[in-house]
Every structure is written in C-alpha cells, then in structure tokens.
Structure 1
Amino acid sequence: MKASGIVVEYNPFHNGHAYHMQQTKKLTKADIIIAVMSGPFLQRGEPALVSKWARTQMALANGVDVVAELPYAFATQKAETFANGAISILDALRVSEICFGSESGNIEHFYNTVTLRQTEQEAFHSLVQRYLKTGMSYAKATSEAFSSLQKNIATIDISEPNNILGMHYIEAIIQQKSLMKASTIKRFASHYHDETFQNERIASATSIRKQLFNDSETFSTIIPFVPKITNLLLEQYKHSYHLLHNWEHYFHLLKYKLLTMSPSQLQNIYEVEEGLEHRILSSIQEATSFTKFMEVLKTKRYTWTRLQRICTHILTNTTKEEMHKAHVEQHAQYIRLLGMSQKGQAYISAKKKQITLPLLSHTKTLQHPLLDIDRKASAAYFSILQGTLCGEMIKRDITQHPIRYNEVQHVFL
C-alpha cells in the first residue's frame, strides 16, 4: 500500500481541504492518506475552533485514513520548526510522498528556491539581518532578502504563507535525509487570509470561522462551503460544550496571568525576547478584549501571528527551558495516533515493524518533555469549559484511544 502524507489543521475541514485530499490521491496514486494534524493550538497562535477529536472525526469521515498529532512544541511554531516536526512524523510512518497546497502550484519552482537558498545561505542571512535592523518583521525581511538574491531561474514567492510552508517541508526532507518525494497542488478560489466568501463552494477557513463567530446561533451560512459532516460535528460540539473556541474566551485567563506576573517571570516564557515583556505588561492593563490588546501590542516588527503565538505560550505557561528540552532532537520523538479508518488500521499493522518512532494509542504512562507541554496545552484549551466538562475533557485527552472509523457503515467506534 502506498501512503501519501498531508499536513493539516482542519480549522474546520472545508471543501478546499476535500479538494486537496482528493487531488493528493489522484496526483500521487496513493492507497492511503496520512494526515499530521495540529492539536489544540495552531501555527498562527490560535486555539482550534473545536477539539482535535472532533477535527479527527471530520478528517476520517472525509477520506483521511490515519490522523497523527503534531505536538504543541512544533504546531505553535514558525514555519521551519513546524515543518521539521511534521516531516519527521510522516517519514517515521513510511510515507512515500507529501502533497501540499501552495500559491505557486509548481514543485520545480520550490526545489529551485531551496537550492538557491542553500547556495546563497551566507548572503541570504546577511540580508535578513540588514532588513531586520530597519524594523521589518522577520517574514518581510526574509521575503525581501530572497528577492534580492533571485537569479534567472523560476522560484516561488516566499511572502505567501503556503509557499513558505511548502519550501520548509522540502528543506526538512533534505535535512532529515528522507526518501519522501514532494508534490504540490495550486490553491484556487480563496486566499489563506480571505475574511469573506469569494466563491460559491470554496472558502478559506478564516472566512468560515469569522462567519461562525459573527452568527453563532446558526450554521446555515457555511453550508455551501463545508461537507455535511463538518456542519454536523460543529453543531454537535457547540451543543455539547456550549461554545466554539476563540481567543476572546481565553482573554480573562490571559489577562489574569499577565497581571500577576513580574517582568522576569514573563521573560522566561518562550519567544518573549528583546524587552518585549515590558510592552506586554504595560499594554494588558487597560485592554478590555483580546482583539484590543493585540491592536495595541502589534508593531511593524512584531506581527499579529508572532504575538498570538507568544500569548499562547503565556496562556499555557510554556517556558524557554521547556521548549529547549523538547527541541533537543529537532524532530518528534513519538507518534500520537488520533484516528484511523479500517484501511488505516491495516496499513499501521502492516508497517508496524518498520515505523521508527513509538506509536502511542494513549498518553497515560509515557513521560517526555514534548508530552509534558502537550498535557499543559490540553488543560489550558479545555479550561474554559463549564462545570464537569473541563475535567472530563482533560482526562479524555490523556486516556482516549484512537478513534476508529468504519468507512463502509460511516460510523465512529
């Protein structure tokens, strides 16, 4: 059985994701699709709309065969670290090919870009530092630096978010000496950051979430843009837990934490650098919402995404020391399985002896720095649930075995 891999967040699973998965199967001639999916907090520093278990159900019901969790220490990181973690898991699961969506859509342009970055590495880093000193954000500085180096070869636009991730997937494959191939499909109809619906069937996850939060009493407006099962699972989650997660639900916890921290305590939190602790502590005092806090905090140098990630690390109390321990190896040290189809179960059974990392069906007994951070992140994520729901979900996150999906009867086991 040939397995192809995808890296996802499914926040939530929508028609564009279904297209990506279908095209991955077609392009790579895969028998099995394996998805590495972020847990409770995502790459842009946001809490996922619904739990990883609900998003795993969305994935399995829409054709994914195996869902493995990308640990928090990789999932809430800049693109390079995010990609390293994801590729290490896919490689350990014996995936033959990764297929990612991109604004470019041309895999040769990605390889040209990676080659140019490697051959001009010293000049590239020098230019990045020069642009950073002018006050540019890191993302803008790297884009400008690369533009300055381009020669007469076709490369990608590294200011685009999916292009950036794709480039780092390929770099991670090379660095980890993986035999995995890479392919890409072009995104169409909606841009990653679109906040409004631009097409009759395809919409960005950003626009879908915005619609859900603007009209939280009904899910009818997103029906054209998501599979039926996504809509059903979102409704079930809202009914069971009385909310869909977003930053505003956590703001009172973030504010309390910051108001009781000293500058030296805040400085120990991961990614708080360059005296940023003073700006954060002064900005939080008058802030009345997460959005208003971010609007005051944001600068040209510190992007909204970077600041959201910092806020996530503050909320989860993730320190520099903890992240250093978790990243000693620079790749995942275990594989937490979240769900499998019947075909997925057969694949895992057939490949078990070849899989190079421990496979976890629960986390009750394992002790590991990566997992310690995951447990804290899970507790923080579910802390806003009312009554006994919080404790029940924290316990479930530790004891839950992978969700089994019967693709013939369309039932979860």
Structure 2
Amino acid sequence: MIATGVIVEYNPFHNGHLHHIRQSRKETNADIVIAVMSGHFLQRGEPAFVDKWTRTQMALASGADLVIELPYVYATAQASDFAKGGISLLEALNCDFFSFGSEEGSITPFLNSYSLLQEHNDTLQQLVRNSIQTGISYPQALNIAYKQLIPNNEQSFVDLSKPNNILGFHYIEAAYKIQANIKAVTIQRIKAGYHDAIGIDSSIASATGIRKAVFEEASIEGISSYMPQTSFKGLEEWQYTNASFGSWEAFWPLLRFTIIRHTPQELSTFAEVTEGIEYLLLSAAKNSENFANFMQQVKSKRYTWTRIQRMLTHIFTGFTWERLKSFEQPSYIRLLGMTENGQKYLSANKKEFTLPIISRVASSDDAMLMQDIQATDLYMLALNGPVNTKRMGLDYKTPPIRM
C-alpha cells in the first residue's frame, strides 16, 4: 500500500484542504493518506478553532485515512521544529511520500534552495545576524539574507517570503536532516492566500479568512460554501454544544489571570520568553481589558504577532524552557482517528513502525504525551469555564474515532 502523509492543522477543514488531499492522492497514486494534525494549540500560537476530535472527524469524512496528533511541543513550535516533528512521525509511520501545499507548486525550486543554503550556511547566518541588529524580526532577516545569496543563473529558487513556501522549505530541510526515506511532493495552493479574507466569487477560502468571517459576523452561516458539508455540520454541532469557538479573545480572562499571577522572573522561565519582554507582557496584561488591546501594546518590529502568541501559549499551558529542552524527538504515534482503510494499513504495517502507537493514553506515562493531555484540559477549561468539569480528562475518555 502506498502511503502519503500530510502535516496539517485543519483549523477548520475547508475546500482548499479537500483539494490538497485529493491532489496528493492523485499525484502519488496513494492508497492511504495519513494526516499528522496539531492538537489544541497551533503553530501560530493560537488555540484551535474547534477541538482535535471535531477536526479529526472533518478530515476522515473528506479523504484522510489516519489522523495522528502532532505533539504540543512541535505543534506550537517555530517552523523548523514544527516540520521536524511532522516529518519524523510520517517517517516513523513508513510513509512513501509527504505532500504539502505551496505558493510555488513545483518541488525543484525547494530542492535548489535547500542546496544553496546548505552550501552557504556560514554566510547566511552572518547576514541574518547583521540584519537582526537593525531591529527587524528573524523571519524578515532570514528572507533578506536568502535573497542576497540567490545567484543570477538559470536555476529556479523558491520565494521564501510566502508563508506556505517557508513551511514547505522546512519540511524539505527536516527530511534531509533526519535522513528520511520519505519523498517530497508539493501541490499548488489555489486562489486564496494564507491570510486572505473570504471572497464572494470563489469556493476556496483560507482557514484564517473563514475564522475571521465567523468572529466578525458572530455566525457560521456565511462560510458554508467554503467547506465540505461534513465540515460545516461539525461546526454547527460545535456551536450548539459550546459557549464559543476557540480564540485568545475568548480565552483572554483566563490568559490574563495566568500572566498576572506570575512575577517577571517566573514569566521568563516559559518557553520563547526572551530579552526582558516578560516585563512588557505583565504590564500590558494589567492594563488590557481584551486580547486585541493587549497585543497592540506588546507587538513591535522585533517581535512578530506569531512569536508573541507562541510565548502566550506556553505561559498559558505552563510549558517552560527546561521542559522544551528535555524533548529531542517524537516518542510515540498518538492515534486520533481512522477509516476502515486506515485500520488495514495499521494492521499490515505496525511491525515496521519505528515508534509505538498509542490509542489509549491511560497505557502510557510519556512526558510528551502528558503535555498534550494538560493542553487539552486547559483548552476545555478556557472554552467553557470552571463549570465544565465533564470535559476534564477528555484524552482519557475519548477513544480513536472510527469512520
């Protein structure tokens, strides 16, 4: 059986994701599509729009055969570590291919760019350091340095100012670094850009645009044409049973409390909190009644919105620098859901997997898994408040979804 992997958030699952799964299956002639999906907190430092089991159901209904959880430590990390976690899990699952969406749409420019940066890595790092000293963010400095290294020849190189291209490059980089056997494929991202708002003349919209529309309109009715019917039904069910969709604005009271209850010295121990920003975080939390106002006080040229949100995620979940440094690579395969076809793949190939499969979390005390379980409880608490005691310990109560 040919297995193709994708590394995803599905926040929420929409028609663009459906196109990616279908094209990935077609391009690789795959019998199985395996989705490694983030849990309750995401790479841009945000709470998930809906929980991981709702998103698992959306994925299984629209073409994924297996959904595996990307552990918190990687799901909330910078792009290189996010990619490392995802690619390592797909390699452990014995996938033949990994497929990612990109603005580029062709794999050759990614391979050329990787070779270029490997060959000139020392020069690249010096150029980055020089740019950062001017006060710009690391991603901006990296892109400037990269452009300075591109030779004037007939080779094609990928545009690393585009968000999906950047992530795709890190997937390629991760595969080389771990000496993976898995092969890379990229699918052209169509119509909607990563940050684009929804448009009336298309059935494709970005997840960012969909979430923005829901929060601005306080309704999901306007987004039904941008996602499969099964995904929209999942959102309807979520809205019926939950106080809100996941967002920092909704979580702000509890996030604010969490920041204010710590001293600056304590805040500095949490992952990604650096260079004295803990004082600004504390001051802004005390003086902000909502999340938007807080971010306006904290954001700067040096600290991107995404980087700040990742700091806040780690503060909220209690994830420290010490704990981050204790994890070197994924240590398990956490099964969230499967189709009948996916179950057949597991049965036929499990002896070849290089990591243990966890379908019942009670059977493991892995420290990385305990972080995922804690993240779930905190997400549920912030979502519906302290009266929502029935949703504590959901990781122990929820078996893998079968479809």
Other-structure match for 2:207: 205
Other-structure match for 1:275: 276
Other-structure match for 1:344: 342
Question: Is 1:149 matched with 2:152?
Answer: no
Q: In the comparison of the two structures, how many residue pairs are matched? A: 401
Other-structure match for 1:356: 354
State the percentage of identical aligned residues: 44
> Does 388-397 or 262-271 show the bigger shift?
388-397
1:339-377 CA-to-partner distances (Å, cap 9, x unmatched) read 000000000000010011010002113122211221221
Other-structure match for 1:379: 377
**Cα distance in 2 for residues equivalent to 1:128 and 1:89:** 30
Distance 1:95 1:198, change over 3 A: farther
Q: In the TM superposition, what are the counterparts of 1:278-357 in structure 2 within 5 Å?
A: 278-326=279-327, 329=328, 331-357=329-355
Other-structure match for 1:174: 176
Instruction: Give 1:67 shift.
Output: 0.3
| SS class of match (1:383) | helix
Instruction: Give 1:219 shift.
Output: 2.3
Other-structure match for 1:260: 261
Q: Quick one: which amino acid aligns to residue 158 of structure 2?
A: I
Distance 1:348 1:62, change over 3 A: same
1:314-347 CA-to-partner distances (Å, cap 9, x unmatched) read 1111111111112xx2x21101000000000000
Q: Is the 8 A contact 1:325 1:369 kept in 2?
A: no
Q: Is the 8 A contact 2:33 2:64 kept in 1?
A: yes
Q: Is the 8 A contact 1:269 1:318 kept in 2?
A: yes
> Does 226-235 or 153-162 show the bigger shift?
153-162
Instruction: Give 1:385 shift.
Output: 4.2
**Cα distance in 1 for residues equivalent to 2:66 and 2:336:** 8
Other-structure match for 1:32: 32
Q: Quick one: which amino acid aligns to residue 236 of structure 2?
A: E
Instruction: Give 1:195 shift.
Output: 2.4
Other-structure match for 2:163: 161
**Cα distance in 1 for residues equivalent to 2:388 and 2:347:** 34
**Cα distance in 1 for residues equivalent to 2:294 and 2:10:** 27
**Cα distance in 1 for residues equivalent to 2:351 and 2:162:** 39
Q: Is the 8 A contact 2:377 2:394 kept in 1?
A: no
Other-structure match for 1:14: 14
**Cα distance in 2 for residues equivalent to 1:389 and 1:18:** 37
Distance 1:192 1:389, change over 3 A: farther
Q: Is the 8 A contact 1:38 1:70 kept in 2?
A: yes
Distance 1:295 1:198, change over 3 A: farther
Supply the RMSD in Å over aligned alpha carbons.
1.3
Q: In the TM superposition, what are the counterparts of 1:95-134 in structure 2 within 5 Å?
A: 95-134=95-134
Other-structure match for 1:61: 61
| SS class of match (1:183) | strand
| SS class of match (1:7) | strand
Q: Is the 8 A contact 1:378 1:397 kept in 2?
A: yes
1:138-184 CA-to-partner distances (Å, cap 9, x unmatched) read 11000001001011231111111111111111111111111111010
Q: Quick one: which amino acid aligns to residue 399 of structure 1?
A: K
Other-structure match for 1:188: 190
Q: Is the 8 A contact 2:33 2:65 kept in 1?
A: yes
Q: Is the 8 A contact 1:363 1:399 kept in 2?
A: no
> Does 148-157 or 92-101 show the bigger shift?
148-157
Other-structure match for 2:88: 88
Q: Is the 8 A contact 2:250 2:383 kept in 1?
A: no
**Cα distance in 1 for residues equivalent to 2:73 and 2:165:** 22
Instruction: Give 1:198 shift.
Output: 6.1
Other-structure match for 1:215: 217
Q: Is the 8 A contact 1:241 1:389 kept in 2?
A: no
Distance 1:300 1:202, change over 3 A: same
Distance 1:304 1:175, change over 3 A: same
Q: Is the 8 A contact 1:337 1:402 kept in 2?
A: yes
Q: In the TM superposition, what are the counterparts of 1:241-260 in structure 2 within 5 Å?
A: 241-260=242-261
**Cα distance in 2 for residues equivalent to 1:104 and 1:385:** 37
What is the TM-score when the length of structure 1 is the normalising length? Answer: 0.95
| SS class of match (1:384) | helix
Distance 1:155 1:389, change over 3 A: farther
Q: Is the 8 A contact 2:373 2:393 kept in 1?
A: no
Instruction: Give 1:196 shift.
Output: 3.4
Q: Quick one: which amino acid aligns to residue 265 of structure 1?
A: E
**Cα distance in 2 for residues equivalent to 1:272 and 1:131:** 21
| SS class of match (2:143) | helix
> Does 252-261 or 312-321 show the bigger shift?
252-261
Instruction: Give 1:399 shift.
Output: 3.3
Question: Is 1:238 matched with 2:236?
Answer: no
1:110-165 CA-to-partner distances (Å, cap 9, x unmatched) read 00000001000000011111111111101100000100101123111111111111
Q: Quick one: which amino acid aligns to residue 26 of structure 1?
A: K
Q: Is the 8 A contact 2:195 2:206 kept in 1?
A: yes
Instruction: Give 1:250 shift.
Output: 1.1
Q: Is the 8 A contact 2:377 2:393 kept in 1?
A: no
> Does 182-191 or 241-250 show the bigger shift?
241-250
Instruction: Give 1:387 shift.
Output: 6.9
What is the TM-score when the length of structure 2 is the normalising length? Answer: 0.97
**Cα distance in 2 for residues equivalent to 1:184 and 1:160:** 14
Q: Is the 8 A contact 2:376 2:394 kept in 1?
A: no
Q: Is the 8 A contact 1:364 1:399 kept in 2?
A: no
Runs of 5+ consecutive residues of structure 1 not aligned to the other structure: 406-413
